[in-house]
Amino acid sequence: MKFLRTLLILGRVSNLPTVWTNVVVGWLVGGGLFGPQIGWMIAGVSLLYWAGMTLNDAFDVDWDKAHAPERPIPKGDISVKATWIIGVVQMLAGAALIIGKTDASLAVLAGLIAAILAYDWIHKKWKGAVLIMGLCRALVYLLGWTAARSDMQLAAASPLVYLLGIGVLLYIAGLTLVARGERDEKSNGLAALPRVLLLIPSAFPVMVLYCEQSLDITHALLFGGIIISSAWIIFVRTLLSAGKIPQGIGFAIAGIALYDAVVAFYIDWRAGVFCLVCFGLALVAQRVIPAT
């Protein structure tokens, strides 16, 4: 059980529900229907996320020894070699599931894997790597879309999937900028750039209205989505501004599932409910497995 918990901590698996909602929203925007393939997509992308987080610790072992001694490798719960092996196996298994069981684009899959590895490799060396972290999330949306629309070229993708991808890219970039100060005792507030970037998800309902005008969207649904997402963003920003960085980051990550729910309800209420459940699951899981 201790080894299993170590693997869960390495993979920050409390964040996985937010990855599931990214896949589902990309799939829905692509016109996908509920069926086995969406399940395989979720499983495959989950393994890729788990691998990326596991390998993150392998890449950061020297930094963690100096700044995060409570992480599994410095703590002695697992060796560096074992971490590398497990991370690579998870990555290969996730890719194999997506290739073998779905119609997702191989090009987008390759791009996602490359972005994950690039972030793990350079994020301690280059501040601009926060954009690569955001790109990883954006590519999950696009990967889900390609699985649903295997017969179409990427250039023909709905503008919505690109807008959502760009939106989450910038949101994650802002969140990652805040996370960089998680262990900085001098950090006593929220900088101007992250303040702006963290506001982006409140525009998600408007993006749906603009891009999917054929949908029967009521004003109540539109304003409800804006109010709900904005309220959560304000709550998260309050925590971050108060210096409660770890808790604020965890809640901000869980919020991704809430923002996805706002989008999903426009297309299929069942998917919206699924995203809300994932939001709650992420919050509960963070009580057991740290989000960062």
The CATH code of the domain that includes 66 is 1.10.357.140
Taking only the tens place, the pLDDT of each residue in 126-147 is 989 999 999 999 999 999 999 9
Structural domain harbouring 173 = 2-285
Model confidence pLDDT, tens digit, residues 234-253? 999 999 888 888 899 999 99
**Domain assignment of residue 290, yes or no:** no
Q: Is residue 112 part of a domain?
A: yes
Confirm whether 207 is domain-assigned: yes
- Look at residue 187 and tell me whether its pLDDT is greater than 60: no
Contact residues for 287 (Cβ-Cβ < 8 A; gap 6+):
none
* Residue 111 counted as domain residue: yes
> Which pLDDT band holds residue 233 (cuts at 50, 70, 90)?
very high
Identity of residue 210: Y
Q: How far apart are the first and last CA of the chain?
A: 21
Domain count, the chain: 1
Task: Give the other-Cβ count within 10 Å of 149's Cβ.
Answer: 22
pLDDT-derived band at 198 (thresholds 50, 70, 90) equals very high
- Write out 35-80 in H/E/C secondary structure: CHHHHHHHHHHHHHHHHHHHHHHHHCHHHHHHHCCCCHHHHCCCCH
Q: Say if 291 falls within a structural domain.
A: no
- Give how far Cα 88 sits from Cα of 52, 55, 225, 227, 259, Å: 9, 8, 39, 42, 31
Confidence of residue 185 (pLDDT cuts 50, 70, 90): very low
Q: What is the dihedral of CA 250, 247, 168, 98, to 10 degrees?
A: -10
Does any domain span residue 12? yes
Q: Are 48 and 119 in contact (CB under 8 A)?
A: no
- Asked whether 77 and 2 are in contact (CB, 8 A), the reply is yes
Q: What is the pLDDT of residues 148-165, one digit of tens each?
A: 987 667 766 778 999 999
Query: Residue 188 — very low, low, confident or very high, per pLDDT cuts 50/70/90?
Result: very low
How many helices (H) does the chain have, and how many strands (E)? 14, 0
d(Cα 200, Cα 235) in Å, to the nearest integer? 15
- Residue 176 belongs to a domain: yes
> Is the separation of the CB atoms in 18 and 133 below 8 Å?
no
Write out pLDDT tens, residues 60-82: 999 999 888 999 999 999 999 99
Distance separating alpha carbons of residues 206 and 182, to the nearest angstrom: 32
Query: 46-55, 96-105, 212-221: lowest mean pLDDT where?
Result: 212-221
- 90 found inside a domain: yes
Average pLDDT, the chain: 91
